[in-house]
Chains A and B, each alone.
Chain A
């Protein structure tokens, strides 16, 4: 009944490419100490930042690719043809009118800021290496909320950001975190003062516009005691002939009693290598929640983690991955318990369409000296076509008789009876399939903010087109 299909999704629907005539700052092709010095100079950085970058470069050069467990596809990344820094010399504009027309056009075409900024507390839009637009509601500024790029963050507020920069994810964590630490530009540095609760989310858009360009944004969010913040990011890129690299590092610090919710909708074109390191530290009573949705990219490797450092802290990862033809979504979660009475929850749902492959890779670690730690992990995979593939590789290490862990995973396919039931009620097979898939992820999508859940449903419908029949 469900036949394999070779129909290519019409990517033109999402072709947001606009030719950009010239970049004022271009670090050229390839990676070297000179490139890094150039980036640092353009950004007018302090010496310690440059030293940090150069040290990360040497770590990057020494570290092997993680191919002993990960996809061999990583070996296809040619670090020598990538452009590591491109900017039009833009300073983040404070009003939408100041944004250069061609960049504005791109973002307008995405249908984003004009419509949605009304609902958002702050927006940042990154175009290649640097933010093109950054805006935050004034009342938040008065309350002391800081929402800037890493360059400004490290220069203007070192007393806040330097302490945590590179502490949650050290440069030596893995090859790609080292790469990011060497060449990072763009991203968001956010500080929420004690007790400040942001009722509306802060938002960032990331966009790659140049061919062979690698985007390396760096995000650091610090939620001070008792504060609350929701941060959303979205990613797009036009489809180029050659592959592109996106390698971000995101560090979250949730101090005592604070809450951070981090939402990602990743929809890179399907020739982007998306290799992202995301980790949070949760102190006493703090709560960190990663909501992660991966639809685009060629290969995504992303395992958001929470280090539960303080008593009674909570960590959660909700993840949706959709792998279409030629895509490999290698996602998962890491929960490192290092204090008593901590709890963590992971719910991952993946859908493989055509010859797409989705993988779940997880780590749950509870050492023996802790009391009353709990973890719950659920992974559900749905296979649509006969060439679709799914893997699950969790790792669970538990010591001590006072902790409990449960892990469950299942793999299923769309049942013929259910499709028949819906067809019998007048839906086409494709509609029925789309409805089934939306139903499969529905309980997770409900956790998303309104506008994202609508967008997500639309994206899933788009991806499902042509997968049946």
Chain B
């Protein structure tokens, strides 16, 4: 520990400096050679990236400077691993990234062949691939079924440090799994967590996932996820964001198999100066598939949300049903919601639509509650909880649902 703190004194400790990678790789010399090569390759790609363009549609409306690494120039020394919990892991491979690299690196052998979702943060993605020291790996075997919820808790670092994390989730044919991903901060100091998830759903598998982001209000959350759906598979995703100072989520669902179903939903409750930047793609490459997206944001104080969604339907993806909805509720004069819903349709046998609305609480609804003697702030909270219920009521587990409602309520109360 003492030697590492000496390193942090030198400028070499900045992970964006040219010679840092060697120090980093030396520390992780126990890794297999192909992974070292992969890290080096990702770093080369990072260096070769063209200069950021001033005007980039993928960053439209987003104050890009808030997502920079300059305030978090060093990797965290804290060895706090993601925690993994489940009472039924009999047949499922469920390990931390480091343990997986040590024990079963073959599970990760596809890593270098992964496609790169590009919704703007290719640099973050490449840094994640270069410097990931944390994360988790799940592999559900064929026909796996369980009533248990798999849970991981992941941590944003402390003291202005950065942490990179890579997660892999593979579901083999006909398996079904429910996962709760929890993100929080180690303590009250600021930190940056950059997280990449690759999710592969084989034929007829079903993956239910709830992501809860509750970082402290000083931290930055960067999250990429790339979901590949094969024939007949189903993905039900619910993202709940309450925390962080600024968060950017890039979520890409690619449908490669007939009859797949992709459901992506999210809620954000923004207070103070929180910024929630969300970029999504629903990409249909196969016929007869469905996708459905519902992103809801409620914004107080000076909070801001950006939603950019795209439905892409390839020419061969006939009989696609794809929908996209963005609803924003503004509760203060300084709150801001920007929407960029998009469609790119190249097949004609489709049903596609998107809708985006931004508005305040309906005066009549508010009056109804006020006339029953409920204080205004409580009325607003009730309306917001009701507004979010369309998304979170999809969570089947009652305990988790109640816990979430309480979290939302408590988060709302912190603004008073």
Interface residues in B, total, Cβ within 8 A: 41
Interface residues of A in 353-402 (CB under 8 A from B): 368-369, 381, 383-402
Question: B358: which A residues are within 8 A, CB to CB?
Answer: 396, 398, 403-406
Question: A391: which B residues are within 8 A, CB to CB?
Answer: 342-345
Once the chains bind, are A409 and B355 in contact (CB under 8 Å)? Answer: yes
Bound Cα distance from A103 to B369, whole angstroms: 72
Once the chains bind, are A398 and B336 in contact (CB under 8 Å)? Answer: yes
Once the chains bind, are A401 and B351 in contact (CB under 8 Å)? Answer: no
Once the chains bind, are A407 and B335 in contact (CB under 8 Å)? Answer: no
Question: A385: which B residues are within 8 A, CB to CB?
Answer: 348
Bound Cα distance from A427 to B353, whole angstroms: 31
Question: B334: which A residues are within 8 A, CB to CB?
Answer: 368, 399-400
Closest to A412 in B: B351
B350 within 8 A of A: yes
Bound Cα distance from A412 to B351, whole angstroms: 6
Once the chains bind, are B348 and A397 in contact (CB under 8 Å)? Answer: no
A9 within 8 A of B: no
B55 within 8 A of A: yes
B339 within 8 A of A: yes
Question: B330: which A residues are within 8 A, CB to CB?
Answer: 398-401, 403
B26 within 8 A of A: no
Once the chains bind, are A410 and B353 in contact (CB under 8 Å)? Answer: yes
Once the chains bind, are A386 and B343 in contact (CB under 8 Å)? Answer: no
Interface residues of A in 194-223 (CB under 8 A from B): none
B349 within 8 A of A: yes
Interface size class of A (residues with CB under 8 A): 35 or more
Bound Cα distance from A386 to B332, whole angstroms: 46
Bound Cα distance from A62 to B102, whole angstroms: 56
Q: With A68-B53, A387-B315 as known contacts, state yes or no: A409 contacts B343, CB within 8 Å.
A: yes
Bound Cα distance from A404 to B330, whole angstroms: 9
Bound Cα distance from A395 to B333, whole angstroms: 20
Q: With A405-B358, A406-B355, A409-B354 as known contacts, state yes or no: A393 contacts B55, CB within 8 Å.
A: no
Q: With A395-B60, A405-B357 as known contacts, state yes or no: A411 contacts B352, CB within 8 Å.
A: yes
Once the chains bind, are B332 and A401 in contact (CB under 8 Å)? Answer: yes
Once the chains bind, are B341 and A400 in contact (CB under 8 Å)? Answer: no
B211 within 8 A of A: no
Closest to B307 in A: A396
B346 within 8 A of A: yes
B255 within 8 A of A: no
Q: With A391-B344, A409-B341 as known contacts, state yes or no: A68 contacts B56, CB within 8 Å.
A: yes
A52 within 8 A of B: no
Closest to B54 in A: A68
Closest to B352 in A: A411
Once the chains bind, are A386 and B315 in contact (CB under 8 Å)? Answer: yes
Once the chains bind, are B345 and A394 in contact (CB under 8 Å)? Answer: no
Bound Cα distance from A404 to B350, whole angstroms: 30
Question: B352: which A residues are within 8 A, CB to CB?
Answer: 410-411
- Taking the nearest CB of chain A, how far is it from the CB of B303, in angstroms? 11
> Which residue of A69, A368, A369, A390 is within 8 Å of B345 (Cβ)?
A390
- Taking the nearest CB of chain A, how far is it from the CB of B289, in angstroms? 16
Closest to A361 in B: B342
Question: A2: which B residues are within 8 A, CB to CB?
Answer: 348
Once the chains bind, are A386 and B318 in contact (CB under 8 Å)? Answer: yes
- Taking the nearest CB of chain A, how far is it from the CB of B238, in angstroms? 24
Bound Cα distance from A401 to B334, whole angstroms: 8
Question: B61: which A residues are within 8 A, CB to CB?
Answer: 395, 397
Once the chains bind, are B345 and A396 in contact (CB under 8 Å)? Answer: no
Bound Cα distance from A404 to B356, whole angstroms: 11
A-B pairs with lowest CB-CB distance, top 8 = A383-B348, A404-B359, A410-B353, A399-B336, A401-B360, A392-B343, A411-B352, A396-B339
Q: List 9 A-B contacts (CB under 8 A).
A: A68-B53, A69-B57, A368-B333, A383-B347, A396-B340, A397-B336, A400-B334, A412-B351, A413-B348
B-side residues, CB < 8 A to A, are: 53, 55-57, 60-61, 315, 318, 328, 330-361
